[in-house]
Amino acid sequence: MRATSTPRFQKPSETDQFPNEYDLPTDLIQDQIQRQQAPIRTFIINQAAAGVKEIDYPGRAFAVFSYTGGVVNANPAIQIAINENYPDRTVVPQDSRGFRGSFYRLFLNWPLIANTTTYLVIFESSEDPFVRFA
Amino acid sequence: MYGQNPSGNYKRFQKPAEGEVYPSEYDFSSGLINDLQQRDLAPIIVQTFNLATASPAGGIKLAMPGRAFVGYGYTTTDTFKSPQNFRIDVAINQQSVANETVFPCDISRGFRGLFHTLYLTWAAQAGLSVDFVIFRSKRKPWMSG
């Protein structure tokens, strides 16, 4: 890193607006409202019966969140093929896990797990969409 | 040559510049601090909900724009708020009949991305409360649960 002649103890400007990291762009918020845009698309899968589903919905990441009787189900065992329905493009994510990268289509294949509901969440943002602090 | 990389323009053992200010990663912008103070700006907004009873019909609407959210569950009577599992469904920006915009908010798990409105719904969870935190910074928020 190179040294500069920037004064270390600068005096805040009294007339200019400061580009604060906490500012929210009103144009982007307005755009979301006008286009009724949601940053995620969720598909809720009832695993009371086995099934398959093709989801023609592009995204930049997906993750699964599964519950059995209201308690987290660590392994919903859903097979998810990305873009094309081939075994060599298939992942089986555990709870709270998924894939990050642009895709245009998903193929789901899930087994019967009684009393289990699994959320498949597709994220649209180009930024890191998922937070877990624990 | 000893002390230089192959391109020859980088000195490994450089002599500190005298009379110039070094831009350290630990420096704080006085302009940013002044702006925070002048505008009374809060970097987070915390809403606390008692989950003992189910959410009102239609859920709780939070018209508070932000860049990330996460919930921290705890036993209602626990002063120290030790982490407890909980469950809230959070519809982002809009609600839909098929819950197509719902994110299942769980213990210390949330969503990151700009939004303008949130709709919270939950089933009754005896003895539990949650601090629901909305983050506003464009930087990635991080905190140990």
pTM score: 0.83
Of A43-57, B14-28, B102-116, give the range with the top mean pLDDT: A43-57
Note the pLDDT tens digit of each residue in A80-124: 999 999 999 999 999 989 998 999 999 999 999 999 999 999 999
Cβ pair A133:B142 closer than 8 A: yes
State how far residue A61 is from chain B, nearest Cα, in angstroms: 12
Q: What are phi and psi of A64, to 5 degrees?
A: -115, 145
CB B41 within 8 A of CB A19: no
DSSP string of B91-138? EESS--TT-TTEEEEBTTEEEEEEES-EEEE----TTEEEEEEEE--S
pLDDT given at position B144? 46
- Kindly report, residue by residue over B41-76, the tens digit of the pLDDT: 889 999 999 999 999 998 999 999 999 999 999 999
Residue B65 vs residues B62, B79, B93: alpha-carbon distances, Å: 8, 29, 9
Q: Is the confidence metric ipTM above 0.85 for this complex?
A: no
For residue A50, what are the contacts with CB-CB under 8 A and spacing of at least 6?
A110, A111, A112
Backbone torsions φ then ψ of A29, nearest 5 degrees:
-65, -45
| Closest residue to B113, CB basis, from A8, A70, A125 | A125
| DSSP 8-state secondary structure symbol assigned to residue A56 | -
Q: Do A119 and B104 form a contact (C-beta atoms < 8 A)?
A: yes
User: Which residues on chain B are in Cβ contact (under 8 Å) with A43?
Assistant: 100
What would the two tokens of residue B57 be?
């019909």
* Residue A8 in contact with partner chain B when CB distance is under 8 A: yes
Interface of B with A in 72-111 (CB under 8 A): 83, 85, 87, 92-94, 98-104, 106-111
Please report, rounded to a whole number, the percentage of residues in chain B having pLDDT higher than 70.
90
Give pLDDT, residue B1: 47
Q: Is the pLDDT of residue A63 over 90?
A: yes
Paired tokens of B98:
């098929």
Tell me, what's the pLDDT at A9? 67
* Beta partners for residue A64, in sequence order: A97, A120
